[in-house]
Amino acid sequence: MDVAAPRRQVADEGPAPAPALRRRLRLWQVSVSGVGVILGAGVYALVGPAAGLAGNALWLAFLLAGAAAGLTAYSYARLGTMRPKDSPEFQYTALAFGPRIGFVAGWLMLAADLLAVAAVALGFGGYLAHLAGTPAVGTRSRSWR
């Protein structure tokens, strides 16, 4: 039984074109992703401490947070139609105040995202500690010293 070898490309054809990434996310997918991030950070990690601080006025805290989120979404939507590019924080701030301030705003947004990730991780660690009896924050073992 003879198996034929697969045909190879001729070297004269040149390099194959690099596959291009296509943007497939539309308004609905991006909106659902944003709501998921807000719910993940807010509902799962921060409701307990917020309820302890707000007490009976928890409904008012939710109302104010919703209004702030709505105004932020509205401003991003308006500015996104004016300047639809990547890195919106840099673009919007540079449009208003110049590229140096825009650069600082971009880095501050990165720092805010990292802090949000840390807050969600600590919130998840607190829930895991409560449910499984594990420490919320990893500690260094004494054998490593």
Which pLDDT score, from 0 to 100, does residue 52 have? 85
Q: Whole-number mean pLDDT of the chain?
A: 75
Q: Is residue 69 part of a domain?
A: yes
Q: Is residue 9 part of a domain?
A: no
Q: Is residue 40 part of a domain?
A: yes
Q: Is residue 101 part of a domain?
A: yes
Residue 4 in this model has a pLDDT that exceeds 60: no
Total residues belonging to the chain:
145
Write down the pTM of the prediction: 0.51
Q: Is residue 81 part of a domain?
A: yes
Distance CA 122, CA 20 (A): 38
Which pLDDT score, from 0 to 100, does residue 119 have? 76
Q: Is residue 90 part of a domain?
A: yes
Percent of the chain topping pLDDT 90 = 10
Q: Is residue 5 part of a domain?
A: no
Distance CA 134, CA 3 (A): 58
**Domain membership of residue 56 as a residue range:** 34-134
- State the average pLDDT over residues 127-142: 72
The torsion defined by the Cα of 89, 93, 95 and 97, in degrees rounded to 10, comes to: -170
Which pLDDT score, from 0 to 100, does residue 68 have? 92
The DSSP code for 16 is: P
Burial of 45-59, coded b for 16+ CB within 10 Å and e otherwise, reads: beeeeeeeeeeeeee
Residue 7 near residue 90, CB atoms below 8 Å = no
Which pLDDT score, from 0 to 100, does residue 139 have? 63
Domain count of the chain? 1
Residue 8 in this model has a pLDDT that exceeds 70: no
- State the average pLDDT over residues 107-129: 80
Distance CA 97, CA 115 (A): 25
Residue 21 in this model has a pLDDT that exceeds 60: yes
Q: Is residue 129 part of a domain?
A: yes
Over residues 52-94, the pLDDT tens digits come to 888 888 889 889 988 998 998 888 788 777 766 677 778 888 8
Of the candidates 122, 117, 116, the one whose C-alpha atom is nearest the C-alpha of residue 137 is: 122
Structure token pair of residue 32: 């659902």
